[in-house]
Structure formats: C-alpha cells, structure tokens
Amino acid sequence: MKLSSGAKNLRILLEKAIEDHKISKAEYDLIIIQATEDGNIDSQEQALLRELHEMIADKTIKLVP
C-alpha cells in the first residue's frame, strides 16, 4: 500500500524520534498537528500514531519537556 502524503510526513517525524530515542513535547505536538491537518486521520496515520504511543509507553522513546 502506498503511503499518503500525511503518513509520509508523519513517518519522517517518527523516524527522527526513533533515532534520538526521545521526543519533545513540541515535536509530539507537531506530529499530532500533522496527523490532524487535513481534518481526517487515515488508517496509515492511525497506525503510525499507535506505533508512536506504544514506543512511548514501553519507554523505547522518552517524552521529554
């Protein structure tokens, strides 16, 4: 399945967080804004957000101020 443009942008932001093993509140907010920018969170974006939340929950990525 081809990624939507919104999902591509989310993937880029998510990959940065994975590389850094941390995400700031501002970066997290940017990801949420990107996901909701078109007024619809498609299934690809939902999967990416779910992946991000799972990594934050299991501390793979730390949410920092």
pLDDT digits (tens, 9 = 90+) for 4-52: 777 888 888 888 888 999 999 999 999 999 888 888 888 888 998 999 9
DSSP assignment string, 26-61: HHHHHHHHHHHTTS---HHHHHHHHHHHHHHHTTSS
Q: What is the pTM of this model?
A: 0.81
Cβ atoms within 10 Å of 29's Cβ, excluding its own: 11
Residue 57 has a pLDDT of: 96
- Name which residue leads in pLDDT, 59 or 1: 59
First to last CA, the chain: 35
Domain boundaries defined on the chain: 5-64
